[in-house]
Amino acid sequence: MKKPPEHVAEEIEKLVRDLNEHCYRYHVLDAPVIPDEEYDRLFRRLKELEENFDYVLPDSPTQRVGAAPLDKFSKVRHAEPMLSLDNAFSDNEMREFERRLKRQLGSDDEIVYTVEPKYDGIAIELSYRNGMLGTASTRGDGYEGEDVTLNIRTIKAVPLKIEGENVPESIDIRGEIFMGIQEFEDLNIEREKQGEGPFANPRNAAAGSVRQLDSSITARRRLHLACYGLGAVSGIKFGSQWEFIEWLSRCRFPVPFGIRRVTGIEQVIESIRWIGEKRDSFSFEADGAVVKVNEFRLQQVLGVKTREPRWAIAYKFPARRSTTKVLDIHLSVGRLGTITPVASLEPVRIGGVTVSSSSLHNWDEIERLNIGIGDLVEVERAGDVIPHVTAVRRKGTGKKILPPEKCPVCGSHVEKDEGGVAYRCIGLNCPAQVRERIKHYASRAAMDITGLGEKNVELLHERGLVRHFEDIYKLKKEDLLDLPGFAEKSAWNLIDAIDRSRSTTMARFLYSLGIVHVGEYAARILARNFSDIKELYHVTPERVMEIKQMGEKTAESIANFFGDTENLQTLERLSELGVRIQNPDFDIEGRENLPLDGMTIVLTGRLPRPRKEVEELIERKGGHAASSVSGNTSYLVFGEDPGSKLEKARSLGVRTISYEELMHMLEADNRLF
């Protein structure tokens, strides 16, 4: 890596320091000092400098976005075993734990302990060498785990560099990667939107996120870290668990919430009760408490038994579950069109809450459970929040619930996602999802109707003024003046924005429709290949798949949408209300003038034109401008001082061309085959 001019290197180094500071305050302290917009501005500036000068520091926050997918995980041997813990389930078992410790120590002196919540996530080991994160590995069998470094680097709470004094030569830090309850619920909503099966609980979600072969997927999920254990270490000494926790905190590692240092087993029991009483208010799932002898000297004396340390124990809270009867199974249509089977249950008290219904998630889950109406089932509150049917205890005589053929709310066609995991209503005017569809339709990248944001869409829908897509174009100024928040000027501004949206491009319009798997890029590709929206009416999947960039799943989704009679009638009504669609992508570029059709292009080094401008040109010519080199890269385009990307491209056998060759390729329509 060639160092850039001194003033550039200094700016990059300052940006890295500042951004890491803000990241720590936001993701660990939960106390940000700058707005998100300012963080994003600084991040963009850093990324621009790094790309232009190919100078990337190892602890740069830009290195958290993910890397090229792996074929498989390699193995990592733990320098010291990651042991499991023995369990206790009552106060008396905890008292017996202390009596056992005192017998083994041969002393009746009071023992000092640490007590912390038991996070329900996935255990991880972070190995630092000379202060820099080297590898991150799962617990595995305790002796050998999987190398998940690329994924763990994307988690913003994980320090890439140890900050502070007394940085050891090497240290292995153990902790728990976990997902907050709210993030878990949001992730399941998003997975159901994409037609993927939901995770059963936050622990499964965290484990599934950490064990992704594609680290960019991990980067999109908000995962957290709590550090609590010490493995092999060189260059620093700690006398106790509490001293180690204090060092972690000073070095900006997140430590367990509410961890306490107490004396004697009765104070331990009191601390466990506090965790049990407070855990419903925690943002994460805690299924117990972990108790450790504080002094490392005593830990060494006590030693381990087979795979468990004698000096630590996990107190497990009683499972919050019960059995009840399935009274009925009905279908619910979510705000994004996903149809979910929901079990109506005979009301039962679980953990102080009356549970009368539980999502069955999808038909794969129904088949796995082999569940039907009348069955006696076991129900638990996953994360102590979400009711979840875990098993059928006794079969009833009721009927099975088959997947739907029509939407139970509007009767529109139902689309079955690839693999049969989720079923989704594709009706544009389905009452269950019309609000979300209209919000998307009006968004900036779609029809760009300023003033028709979330708050106003909710208001107009509640007042009955916008129940369907075409109602947007029937609004009058007088309709708005009686609504809260609207005056003469704001009403005129919204009507004017709606009128401006009547003239749009085909790419924007296609994106605005919210067709599953059709984002902005896919919408532009469709616009380049179909001159008019009506060419898509009743289009076949095979016709869509003639386009190089379109896969089978996307083609099926497009064909289903434009094969639905109600959707086509809605599009015709929009046309009658004055929506006019132009298609400059097809008319100007044409299907024969896309020399980069289907290609992935990466830029590196200093270019004669601004990088953003070159990326936009690549997109207009049919290509995809990517930020990192992988085996899927078609060409690496290099300018002055190209740096490490050029070396990586050559090692992967990726063809490299100069900026001038790219321009010649575009001007001459020479694909360089």
Range list of β-strands (E), 515-667: 580-582, 600-604, 624-626, 635-638, 655-658
- The rounded distance, in Å, linking the Cα atoms of 257 and 392 is 36
Dihedral of CA atoms 51, 52, 57, 60 in degrees, nearest 10, equals -50
- The rounded distance, in Å, linking the Cα atoms of 591 and 609 is 26
384: phi then psi, degrees, rounded to nearest 5: 55, 20
Does residue 466 come out as left (phi exceeding 0), alpha (psi in the -120 to 50 range) or beta? beta
DSSP code at position 403: P
Pairing of strands 170-178, 224-234: antiparallel
Pairing of strands 132-138, 338-350: unpaired
**CB-CB contact of 138 with 77 (8 Å):** no
Q: Name the amino acid, one letter, at 444.
A: R
**CB-CB contact of 432 with 461 (8 Å):** no
Q: Name the amino acid, one letter, at 434.
A: V
- The rounded distance, in Å, linking the Cα atoms of 281 and 320 is 16
Quickly list DSSP for 241-272: HHHHHHHHHHTT----TT-EEEESHHHHHHHH
- The rounded distance, in Å, linking the Cα atoms of 430 and 303 is 64
Paired strand residues for 76: 145
Dihedral of CA atoms 518, 519, 522, 523 in degrees, nearest 10, equals 90
Paired strand residues for 373: none
- The rounded distance, in Å, linking the Cα atoms of 336 and 356 is 24
Tokens describing residue 567: 């959707």
Question: Helix (H, G, I), strand (E, B), or coil: what is residue 310?
Answer: coil
Quickly list DSSP for 614-631: HHHHHHHTT-EEESS--T
Q: Taking the mean position of all CA atoms in its chain, how far away is CA 106? A: 51
What kind and span of H or E run contains 376? strand 376-382
Paired strand residues for 381: 387
- Counting Cα atoms < 13 Å in the Cβ hemisphere of 64 gives 23
DSSP code at position 280: G
- The rounded distance, in Å, linking the Cα atoms of 420 and 556 is 13
**CB-CB contact of 45 with 612 (8 Å):** no
Task: Please say whether the dihedral angle defined by the alpha carbons of residues 125, 645, 44 and 510, taken in this order, is positive or negative.
Answer: negative
Catalytic residue check, 75: no
Q: List the catalytic residue out of 47, 102, 118, 612.
A: 118
- In the chain the first and final C-alpha atoms are separated, in Å, by 31
Q: Using alpha carbons, list the distances in angstroms from residue 221 to 53, 157, 619.
A: 30, 12, 27
- The rounded distance, in Å, linking the Cα atoms of 114 and 108 is 19
**CB-CB contact of 526 with 509 (8 Å):** no
Question: C-alpha angle with apex 339: 333 to 345, nearest 5 degrees?
Answer: 80
Pairing of strands 600-604, 635-638: parallel
Just list the catalytic residues.
118
